[in-house]
């Protein structure tokens, strides 16, 4: 009887660990057509997903923060999933996108991101950097933000890239919407997008 209970417990633990491993594998594999990113994942999944955004030399010691329920409330409302020691913060997929889009940002880019999401003008004193090595997908420029991603008529897909935000007062003609390697990319206000070579 006791041996049966022990074997049952070991079997259950094995099944649980396999299920967890399968779940973690989906953190970086392409989404099936017609599905969208969601925040309904375990912390371990979110950490694996977030760390896929940048190079290992940065992600190894980066903090991982989940998106706040309402990003307009500010990134300080995001839950820290893992402490970091190098000034970088990685975040998992933003919910409601047709492909994975985690990002890793340095302290300056986090300052820019926090202000921009809150609808405030960022005050940036030095260049900031962000990695999105899984790429991203965005709604068309000027289109009203859809509450349901299935209602989006056109998604713009951007491959792996690095984003730069210049210091306040810096003007650059290179930050205009443009075509890069055959793909149209649009820079966010006060930010430049540079495509990363795979």
- Residue 178 pLDDT: 41
Q: Which residue has the higher pLDDT, 116 or 188?
A: 116
Mean pLDDT across the stretch 53-73?
90
- Residue 196 pLDDT: 46
What is the rounded CA–CA span in Å between residue 193 and residue 185? 7
- Is residue 67 scored above 70 in pLDDT? yes
Q: Which residue has the higher pLDDT, 169 or 127?
A: 127
User: Could you tell me which residues come within 8 angstroms of residue 86 by beta carbon, excluding any fewer than 6 positions away?
Assistant: 58, 61, 62
What is the domain extent for residue 62?
A: 2-195
Percentage of residues in the chain with pLDDT exceeding 90? Answer: 37
- Is residue 169 scored above 90 in pLDDT? no
- Residue 6 pLDDT: 41
| Count of domains forming the chain | 1
**Cβ 86 vs Cβ 58: under 8 Å:** yes
Q: Which of 74, 112, 113, 66 is nearest to 92 (CA)?
A: 66
Per residue in 5-26, pLDDT tens?
444 444 434 334 444 444 788 8
pLDDT band at residue 87 under the 50/70/90 scheme: very high
pTM for the complete prediction?
0.74
Per residue in 88-98, pLDDT tens?
999 999 999 99
- Is residue 55 scored above 90 in pLDDT? yes
Question: What Å distances lie between residue 158 and 57, 113, 116, 118, 182, CA to CA?
Answer: 23, 19, 20, 24, 11
What is the rounded CA–CA span in Å between residue 19 and residue 88? 30
**Cβ 71 vs Cβ 117: under 8 Å:** yes
């Amino acid at each position: 009887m006791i041996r049966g209970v022990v074997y049952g417990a070991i079997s259950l633990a094995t099944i649980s660990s396999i299920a967890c491993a399968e779940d973690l594998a989906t953190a970086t594999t392409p989404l099936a057509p017609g599905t969208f990113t969601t925040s309904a994942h375990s912390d371990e999944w979110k950490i694996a997903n977030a760390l896929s955004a940048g190079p290992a030399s940065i992600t190894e010691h980066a903090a991982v923060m989940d998106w706040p329920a309402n990003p307009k409330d500010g990134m300080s409302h995001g839950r820290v999933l893992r402490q970091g020691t190098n000034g970088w913060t990685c975040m998992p997929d933003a919910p409601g996108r047709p492909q994975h889009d985690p990002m890793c940002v340095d302290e300056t880019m986090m300052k820019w991101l926090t202000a921009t999401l809150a609808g405030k003008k960022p005050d940036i004193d030095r260049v900031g950097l962000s990695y999105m090595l899984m790429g991203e997908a965005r709604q068309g420029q000027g289109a009203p933000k859809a509450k349901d991603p299935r209602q989006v008529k056109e998604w713009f897909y951007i491959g792996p890239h690095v984003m730069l935000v210049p210091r306040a007062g810096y003007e650059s003609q290179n930050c205009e919407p443009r075509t890069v390697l055959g793909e149209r990319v649009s820079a966010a206000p006060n930010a430049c997008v540079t495509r990363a070579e795979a």
